[in-house]
């Protein structure tokens, strides 16, 4: 397999810069007069455009109401160039670049939401579980129309992020319109330190059938290693089948998604990336070494499952390794690379490729349909948010053992909880359906093996 490179999906990591040759390997044929003339016209057009650009800069410096330096003008120009391409391409100043590096380490300050510009509106991709935004009731697909009373129309993603961030402990009010609704609501929350734990709630949810449960909330550097620890612990407890919960998982690092999918697949293509520049074309193959036992598997997905989550879900679906259950995923199938400029002091986050599932499908802006559709109403989705935001997650073995022993015979509650909070009447219908499916698979398997 080719050397795996770190590419960007939602979380960002630095790429080593690769030189790109714009020439050809074979000698060029001598161009005819027509080709020469067209090339000359193209060069002249470019020069004219640059001359116009320089004139605009000079006019801004000379006549704008406030004094403005050239660096500010150019930075705004870079931002404009990239924002006009797609919702994910951006320019980062040195300060913003440092913030990105911090975020990939799994701890940062803010609200904990992923946003893009969609149809001209600032839109929430998904809130991070346990974040202030998630706990306050910000939902997947929410359109943010005001930030502290200021309209977000024509506001760039970077400008929005600057306003969303702030000093630890300060409050902010977002005016949002929930997906499928028309009435805006004000949601006030307090900025906090976001601790992103990518592996949550690992436990046995049904003692009789030994069904394991594991939630993955994003794809960070240590996610696969943490998942290995959790799965091995579940296997020691007698796990016979597994529910992998990728709901509200906005994605992360491509190589980590590949590694995770590799754990469930012995062989075959996991994902491929294709770009206009052939240096962005990669294929990622599964390896038998380190693959988990072939236990029955159900993957929970929803419209907050995006990017790297969709790589894992797509590979499992295409290879018929497990069943997808829930609702259609978000549909982000593009790959962003972080390209350092100005000696690495600033950077371009540029869409350089799209990824394709093993069957050759690009799910960008389409999403992945689950095998078993279990839709939720708006009220049920909001209740799920409220339930997950109230859950205290820890991976202390003794605490989990207490939960399991006292939870026998009760309805399963997703992602762990204290004994007191397990008495909540909330029912996670998607998780319950997944448990029923796995029970049915075991019953069928036993029946098939009975002479």
Q: Are 73 and 81 in contact (CB under 8 A)?
A: no
**Quick one: what percent of the chain has pLDDT higher than 70?**
79
pLDDT at 40: 54
Q: What's the pLDDT at 28?
A: 39
* Beta carbons within 10 angstroms of residue 348's beta carbon: 18
Of residues 165 and 274, the one with the higher pLDDT is 274
Residue 350: phi and psi, rounded to 5, are -120, 135
pLDDT at 14 over 80: no
Instruction: Determine the Cα–Cα distance for residues 302 and 196; give it in Å rounded to an integer.
Output: 19
At 299-336, the pLDDT tens digits run 999 999 999 999 999 999 999 999 999 999 999 999 88
The three-point CA angle 177-179-182 to 5° equals 50
Which of 35-49, 398-412, 431-445 tops mean pLDDT? Answer: 431-445
Return the residue matching tokens 């976001």. Answer: 194
Judge whether 181 and 378 are in contact, CB under 8 Å: yes
Is it true that domain 199-336+350-446 has CATH number 3.10.20.30? no
Residue at token pair 């549909």: 331
Torsion of CA 354, 355, 357, 361, to 10 degrees: 0
Write down the catalytic residue from 135, 210, 332, 349. Answer: 332
Task: Please report the DSSP string for 342-366 in residue order.
Answer: TTTTEEEEEEEEEEE-TTS---TTT
Tens digits of residue pLDDT in 330-387? 999 998 888 998 888 899 999 999 999 999 999 999 999 999 999 999 888 888 887 7
Burial class (CB in 10 A: 0-12, 13-18, 19+), 46: exposed
Asked whether residue 187 carries a pLDDT value surpassing 90, the answer given is yes
pLDDT class for 448, splitting at 50, 70, 90? low
C-alpha torsion angle, residues 266, 267, 271, 274 (rounded to 10)? 160
Domain 107-195 of CATH type 3.20.20.70: no
32, 147, 280, 335 from 272: Cα distances, Å: 39, 39, 10, 11
Lowest mean pLDDT among 120-129, 246-255, 397-406: 397-406
Give the count of alpha carbons within 13 A of 149, CB side only: 1
- Residue 422 in this model has a pLDDT that exceeds 60: no
Q: How far apart are the first and last CA of the chain?
A: 44
For the segment 392-400, the average pLDDT, to the nearest whole number, is 39
Distances (CA, A) of 96 to 28, 78, 158, 306: 43, 14, 9, 23
Residue 75: which of 105, 95, 101 has the closest Cα? 95
Residue 105's pLDDT band, with cuts at 50, 70 and 90, is low
- Give residue limits of the domains in the chain: 107-195, 199-336+350-446
Q: Long-range contacts made by residues 169-173, C-beta under 8 angstroms, separation at least 24? A: 172/111, 172/147, 172/148, 173/146, 173/147, 173/148, 173/149
Whether residue 171 is predicted with pLDDT greater than 90 in this model: the reply is: yes
What is d(CA 165, CA 189) in angstroms, rounded to the nearest whole number? 12
Catalytic residue flag (residue 272): no
The more confidently predicted of residues 8 and 312 is 312
Burial class (CB in 10 A: 0-12, 13-18, 19+), 416: buried
Contacts of 155 (CB under 8 A, 6+ apart): 122, 163
Of 6-10, 147-151, 277-281, 446-450, the range with the lowest mean pLDDT is 6-10
| DSSP H or E stretch at residue 314 | helix 308-318
By CB neighbour count within 10 A (0-12 exposed, 13-18 middle, 19+ buried), where does 47 fall? exposed
Phi, psi of 386 (to 5 degrees): -60, -40
- Going by C-beta distance under 8 Å and a sequence separation of 6 or more, which residues neighbour residue 193? 107, 108, 109, 168
From the candidates 142, 245, 318, 428, give the one annotated as an active-site residue: 318
Q: What is the mean pLDDT of residues 116-133?
A: 88
324, 296, 322, 297: which is closest to 310 by C-alpha? 324
Residue with tokens 């790429």: 15
Least confident of 176-180, 296-300, 395-399: 395-399
The CA distance from 147 to 194, in Å, is 20
pLDDT (tens digit, 9 = 90+) per residue, 243-264? 999 999 999 889 999 999 999 9
- Please confirm, yes or no, whether 318 is among the known catalytic residues: yes
pLDDT given at position 238? 97
Q: How many residues does the chain have?
A: 451
Is 199-336+350-446 the same fold as 107-195?
no
The mean of the pLDDT values for the chain is: 82
pLDDT digits (tens, 9 = 90+) for 37-66: 555 556 667 777 788 888 999 999 999 999
Give yes or no for residue 19 having a pLDDT over 90: no
pLDDT of 419 reads: 40
Among the options 307, 334, 337, 417, which is catalytic? 307
Task: Report how far residue 184's alpha carbon sits from residue 142's, in angstroms, rounded to the nearest whole number.
Answer: 10
């Amino acid at each position: 397999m080719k050397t795996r490179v770190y590419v960007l999906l939602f979380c960002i990591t630095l790429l080593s810069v690769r030189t790109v040759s714009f020439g050809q390997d074979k000698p060029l044929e001598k161009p005819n007069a027509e080709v020469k003339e067209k090339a000359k016209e193209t060069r002249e057009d470019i020069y004219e455009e640059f001359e116009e650009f320089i004139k605009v800069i000079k006019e801004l410096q000379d006549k704008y109401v406030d004094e403005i330096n050239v660096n500010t003008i150019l930075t705004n120009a870079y931002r404009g160039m990239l924002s006009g391409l797609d919702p994910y391409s951006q320019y980062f100043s040195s300060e913003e670049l440092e913030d990105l590096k911090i975020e990939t380490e799994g701890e940062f300050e803010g609200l904990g939401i992923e946003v893009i510009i969609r149809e001209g509106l600032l839109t929430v991709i998904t809130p991070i579980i346990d974040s202030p935004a998630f706990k306050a009731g910000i939902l997947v697909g929410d359109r943010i129309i005001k930030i502290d009373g200021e309209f977000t129309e024509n506001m760039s993603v970077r400008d929005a992020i600057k306003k969303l961030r702030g000093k630890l402990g300060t409050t902010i009010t977002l005016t949002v319109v929930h997906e499928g609704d028309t009435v805006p609501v004000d949601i006030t929350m307090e900025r906090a330190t976001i601790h992103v734990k990518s592996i949550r709630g690992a436990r046995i949810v049904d003692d009789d059938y030994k069904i394991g449960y594991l939630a993955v909330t994003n794809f960070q550097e240590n996610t696969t290693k943490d998942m290995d620890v959790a799965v091995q612990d579940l296997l020691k407890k007698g796990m016979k089948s597994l529910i992998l919960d990728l709901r509200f998982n906005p994605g992360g690092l491509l190589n980590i998604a590949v590694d995770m999918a590799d754990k469930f697949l012995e062989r075959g293509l996991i994902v491929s990336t294709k770009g206009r520049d052939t240096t962005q074309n990669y294929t990622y193959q599964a390896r038998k070494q380190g693959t988990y036992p072939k236990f029955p598997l159900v993957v929970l997905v929803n419209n907050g499952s995006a990017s790297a989550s969709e790589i894992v879900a797509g590979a499992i679906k295409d290879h018929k390794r497990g069943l997808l259950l829930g609702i259609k995923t978000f549909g982000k199938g593009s790959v962003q690379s972080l390209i350092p400029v100005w000696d690495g002091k600033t950077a371009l986050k540029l869409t350089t490729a799209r990824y394709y599932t093993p069957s050759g499908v690009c799910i960008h802006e389409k999403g992945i349909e689950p095998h078993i559709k279990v839709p939720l109403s708006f009220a049920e989705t909001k209740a799920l948010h409220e339930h997950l935001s109230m859950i205290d997650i820890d991976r202390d073995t003794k605490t989990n053992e207490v939960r399991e022993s006292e939870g026998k015979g009760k309805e399963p509650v997703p992602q762990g909880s204290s004994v007191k909070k397990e008495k909540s009447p909330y029912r996670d219908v998607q998780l319950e359906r997944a448990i029923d499916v796995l029970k049915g698979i075991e019953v069928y398997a036993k029946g098939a093996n009975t002479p």
